[in-house]
Each structure stands twice: as C-alpha cells, then as structure tokens.
Structure 1
Amino acid sequence: MNTEKIITIYDIAERLKLAPSTISRGLQDNPAVNPKTRKKIFDTANEMGYRFNTFARNLRNQKTNTIGVIVPRLNSLFISAILAGIEKELNSANYNMLISQSLELEENEIKYAKTMLHNRVDGLIVNLAANTSSLDHFAEYIRHRIPLLFVDRVIENDDFNTVVINNTKAGYEVTSHLIAQGCTKIAHLTGSLMRNVYQDRKAGYQSALAEHGIPYDESLVFETDLTEESSIRAAREIIKMKTRPDALFVANDLSAVICMKVFKDAGLTIPGDIAIAGFNNDVISRISEPMLTTVNYPGEEMGKIAARHLVTQIKGEADAALANTVILKSQLVVRASTLKNKTDDQ
C-alpha cells in the first residue's frame, strides 16, 4: 500500500533554497523573517501539503488552545444550546472544545475532570451532574490556576465563577401566573433537589403559594430524574389522585409535554382540567398542542458568556483568582397551555 510522504520543514527549505531555521521561524510567523518571505514559506507549505504542528507549538508555549466542557448529558436541547454558544465564542477566539458527558453521575464527572487536566486544557466549563455533592475534584484546577467556570447547575462557593439565571424568581413567576389563572392546587414536577436550579425553582414555587395564601403540600411535589419514564409515572400518579391538581409546573419542557400527552390520552383537557407550564422554551414548547407556557432560558447566550469570561481569564485580561457570578435574564412566556381565563391577555 502506498503511503503519502510526510512533508517536513527540510523539504520546504530545499524547495525554497532557504535555511531550515528560516522556514521554522517563518511558519511561526516570526517578524524576524520579512513578510514577503513569510508569505512564500506559507504558500509553499500549503502547496506541498505540509501539516502544521500546532499541538507541539502550543506545548512549547504552555498552551493547548483547548477548552474542556463537562455536561450532564448531550441528549438535551438546553445543553445543546449552551454548547452551541460556547462553540461559537471559542471558534471566534481560535480555541477548540473538548466535550465529555457525565451521564448525571458524580463518579464520571470526577473521572473527566481528571482527564481534562491530564489533557492540559487551558480552562474548564462545567454543568454539574445530578448527584454531585462536592467540588473537591476541581481543587487541582484552582491549585494550578487553570480558569474554571460553572454554568446553570452550580454549588454555592465564593471561589468559583458562575453563569446562571434567577431560578427562584422564574419559579415564582410561573406559579404566580398559574394562580392568576384561578389555579389553587398546583403540583410541581422537579429534578434532583441536590441541584441549585431545581432547589431554586421549587423555592420560587413555594414563595408564590405562600404569598397568595395557598398552603404548601409536599405530596404535590414529585422529585424525579426528568426522564421520559419518570415523567410518565408522575403524570399517572397525578391522574390517580383523589383530588386532582388543577395545574402542574414542570421543571423542563420535554417532561411537561410528556405529561401533557399522558393527561390527554386519559381524556383530560389542557388547560381546562389541568393547566401545564414548563421551563426552558425549547422548540417542543412551540409545537405542542396546545402550545406550552414556559420560561425562556437563554442557553446559547449562557454558553457564549461563559466561554467569553473563560477566555479573558486565560489571556490574563481578568484575574483568575477573582470569582464572580453573572446572572442572565429569563422571561415568562405565556401560551395556551395555562390560559384557563380566556380574557387574560398576558
């Protein structure tokens, strides 16, 4: 089998009748080589099929131009939006992205944090797994002053940079809207309450109930992993209740639409028998029937801002030792799935 010859700087030097050292400096865009010669070197290198060894060059510069990203799962529209934002920002800054998914397990997150460190990433962006109980596995990043940033799911810690939304406010707004529609028995389907996003949405839900004089009922809160199976089980439990809720606030859109289908298959009307609201403003919320009331959660913007902050730290334009929290705006999007009061034009 014929193998293609690997072109070296010596081949380019021979073609151009220049010293190999000149070729090396030219390929590094060194100003010691005049612009015309540099252009000739680059053109010849491309013509001959020279493979630029950016990896070796980056190692010499103590940089890999690679950012590590650890997310809970890849089969999530919201996570996809975050990753799209990160990729756009990193691409414009000439950085690559190395992605791992923890599959919602802390043990995987620990493993990938170590792998990313060994792969010499210049910085790390993390969305925590459902059961992560400690940030100890990120201590080496702090010790080596490798920029580290958490998005969406975070643990309260003054040592780390975070990009989040005000989930408590968002949960409060959703629940207050349902109450304004005349709902008095509102169930809440949430994810793992170990995570701040679900804790805070529940806190907002409870705050709205309290403000409107509606007693909090623990039996109306369903803590699940928000998978299809668990969402179906929760919806079926709600249907079987002796006194059924007149509204359901779900912590994400996909689970909300799954519940909606279970209710409709059981002969219930939406929102007549039960109003449903979700969270994230995923595409599915706009194509469900009826369309789903939700919270617009700017995933792509979150990814862009996270990447931008990380790059400024890597470049030394911001102090990596100074932690700060960026809180993005979210917005309640009212659609037909909760409009029991047809005259309400919110």
Structure 2
Amino acid sequence: MKNDNITIKDIAKALNLSYSTVSRALKGSYKISEGTQQLVKEYAATHNYRPNLMAQSLKNQKSRCIGVVLCSIPNSFFAEVISGIESIAYNKDYLLIITQNLESYEREVKNLDNLTWRSVDGLLVSLSTETEDISHFQRLHDQGLPMVFFDRVTDAIPTHQVITDNIGGAFDATKHLIERGYKRIATITSSPFLSITRERLEGYKKALTEHNMPVNDDHIQYCPHGGMVIEEIDSALNNLLQLNEPPDAILTASDRITIGSFSLIQRKGLLIPDEIAVAGFSNFNAPELFNPPLTTVRQNAFEMGKQATELLIQLVESKRPVTSFEKKVLPTELIVRKST
C-alpha cells in the first residue's frame, strides 16, 4: 500500500472499522466518539491521507471551484484581496479561477460566461466601472448560483456583501484636510455607477457640510475607468487646475487615481503640499517612499477577501436555502504623512 494513495477503505481495514465509521470520523460527525475520531484522524495524518476531491465532486455535483470576478489583478488593492480569498479557499480545498475585466462591461459578461461554462460552485464579484446593467449576474442568481459581492457591490441582488467603510474613510480624510487649514478641497473619483464612488462622495460631502464649507460641483471630477487610463486622470486634474480658484487640496478615491494624480501633479511642477495637498485611498506598498510621503486611507483588503470567501463557502455548502444575508463593513485607517 502506497502512503500517498491511501483511501478510506485502507484506513477502515487497518483500524478494523467500517467504511462509514471512518468517513464520518474524518468529517467530525457527532455520531462518532471523540476517541474514534482522534484514532482515525491521527492514522490518516500519519499516512498522508487526502480526500479524493474529484470523486466527491462527482458525488455531490460540485466542482469545488470558485470564480472570482474583479477589475485588475495587478491593482495593489485587489492583489491583497486575492491573497485573502486564497488563504480561505486553500484551507477549504477549493480551487480559484480568477478573471479580470479591465473595467470593461463587455469583458465582464464574457468572463462570466466562461466561468459558468466551467460549472463553478459560486462567484466572488467586484463590479467593473462600466457596469450599470447587472442582468448577467441577476440571471445566474435567479438560477441558484451562490454569489457574494465585495468592495464594488449592488443592492439589487439579495446576497452577502463585504465592503469598506467608504463613507467614514472619505469623511476622515476630508476632515483632516479641513483641520489642516485647506479651504478648497476637491476630489477625483471613479465611475458614478460604482457603490464605492457614491459612498466616498457621501463621506466627502458630509465632512464639508459639517464644517460649514460649500460643496462645489466643479471640485468633483470622475474617471470613468477608475484611473486605469492615465489620460482620464490628467483631464480631471486639468479641469481642477484651470478653475479661477483652483483647489489647494485633493482627495483621490482609489489606488490608481492616487498614484496617477501624485505623479501628474509633480510633472506639472506643483509643490506638494505647499501648493496643493494630496490624500487618497490607497493600499500600495511603501507610500512613505513617495516624496513627500503620501497620506493614505488604507483598507483591510486581505480581510475583505477572507470574509467574502468564508460567506460564499457557507452559501455553497448550506443544506437549506439561505434567505438572511449580511453586509459586513470593514473599518479604514487614515495614515497621515507629509503630503498633507
């Protein structure tokens, strides 16, 4: 008998137990005594037992694959999210199939078709900046495919959500700029279709209003592709800088917009923070290495990936229809550096 090919039948024969007893013991069934469970699990571990996932998939009509739908893998925020997803999926013996839509609705729809053709057990979804129509997800949800939305979510589909406290994060950053004495605070944000855009704008406006400062629509600029296209950031910045009274501070609403804005401002010869301050949502590594070091609103992206995956696996493995759903809101952290 080869150790790397040991089966439940082999364990049952070696320990003089029935097949069903060993199977239940490995699953931790309450019907099996703790002593027998320990005996079986110790023998299985010693002899390198691994469950036959292919056989289980055929029996349970499950693929043990999770589809991940997001905008861009190289994006530092989503890279951390993927690490969180993988940390749970690996321990639960689920395979990940990760797709990136590059902020394209058309590509998102096509990737979704490919994932469902491969019969994934469930979906982890963060919407693209172009996605206003979610009927492609609605159809699959109506057919019973479990899905959990994270970061960029929709309330139109009743299911679990895991998000950042976008309102609080934007409020804290804007309040910090106000308290530092800045009077004309602008923001460069993503597509108006996105939940994160609406929530971060709400926090930005709330801070201005609570401090008796006007909300100037000219100070709100959108990047339809979330900063993936540098020309969009450049256009937004130019619109702000050409105002009769240009802003003296900018809140940027994503990793790519933050990095792009910082670089373009310096290329235009403006001094940060003397002529214009910059604070932004960002999870990229080592913001303190920027010159000057960058004030950031940091999100717990790794934890977001973990919690979203745990909720999805609960849906996939539930024996009964789930009708009660959670919306988990993870806190942000404002890290003040010299750019403000």
TM-score (norm. length: structure 1) = 0.80
Aligned counterpart, 2:324: 322
What letter matches 1:174 in structure 2? A
Aligned counterpart, 1:334: 336
Aligned residue for 1:160, secondary structure, equals: coil
From 299, 302, 319, give the equivalent of 2:301: 299
Structure 1 residues 28 and 253: alpha-carbon distance in aligned structure 2, compared to 1, 3 A threshold:
same
Aligned counterpart, 1:29: 8
What letter matches 1:329 in structure 2? P
For the Cα contact (< 8 Å) 2:77–2:255, is it kept in 1? Answer: no
Aligned counterpart, 1:71: 70
Measure, in 1, the Cα distance between the counterparts of 2:193 and 2:6.
51
Aligned residue for 1:337, secondary structure, equals: coil
Structure 1 residues 142 and 258: alpha-carbon distance in aligned structure 2, compared to 1, 3 A threshold:
closer
1:214 to partner: Cα distance: 1.4
Q: Higher Cα Rg: structure 1 or 2?
A: 1
Residue 104, structure 1, aligned to residue 106, structure 2: no
Aligned residue for 1:69, secondary structure, equals: strand
Aligned identity (percent) is: 29
What letter matches 2:260 in structure 1? I
Measure, in 1, the Cα distance between the counterparts of 2:55 and 2:147.
24
Question: Cα RMSD between the aligned structures?
Answer: 2.9
1:140 to partner: Cα distance: 4.2
Aligned counterpart, 1:278: 280
1:319 to partner: Cα distance: 5.2
Aligned counterpart, 2:290: 288
Aligned counterpart, 1:200: 199
For the Cα contact (< 8 Å) 1:236–1:262, is it kept in 2? Answer: no
From 231, 234, 239, give the equivalent of 2:236: 234
- Return 140-149 or 57-66, whichever deviates more: 140-149
- Return 230-239 or 195-204, whichever deviates more: 230-239
1:311 to partner: Cα distance: 1.4
What letter matches 1:238 in structure 2? L
What letter matches 1:221 in structure 2? I
For the Cα contact (< 8 Å) 1:291–1:336, is it kept in 2? Answer: yes
Aligned residue for 1:278, secondary structure, equals: strand
Aligned residue for 1:34, secondary structure, equals: helix
1:28 to partner: Cα distance: 5.1
Measure, in 2, the Cα distance between the counterparts of 1:335 and 1:132.
35
The gaps in structure 1 that reach 5 residues or longer are 1-11, 17-25, 47-51, 339-346
**1:211-245: CA deviation from partner (whole Å, max 9, x where unpaired):** 11211111111101213232233334433333221
**1:155-193: CA deviation from partner (whole Å, max 9, x where unpaired):** 123612100022112111111111111111011100101
Measure, in 2, the Cα distance between the counterparts of 1:264 and 1:154.
34
Residue 155, structure 1, aligned to residue 154, structure 2: yes
The gaps in structure 2 that reach 5 residues or longer are 20-39
**1:273-297: CA deviation from partner (whole Å, max 9, x where unpaired):** 1110010332152321111111110
Measure, in 1, the Cα distance between the counterparts of 2:307 and 2:231.
34
Aligned counterpart, 2:185: 186
Aligned counterpart, 2:24: none
Aligned residue for 1:277, secondary structure, equals: strand
Aligned counterpart, 1:251: 253
Measure, in 1, the Cα distance between the counterparts of 2:104 and 2:268.
34
For the Cα contact (< 8 Å) 1:250–1:277, is it kept in 2? Answer: yes
Structure 1 residues 114 and 257: alpha-carbon distance in aligned structure 2, compared to 1, 3 A threshold:
closer
The number of residues matched between the two structures is 308
Structure 1 residues 158 and 63: alpha-carbon distance in aligned structure 2, compared to 1, 3 A threshold:
closer
- Return 314-323 or 187-196, whichever deviates more: 314-323
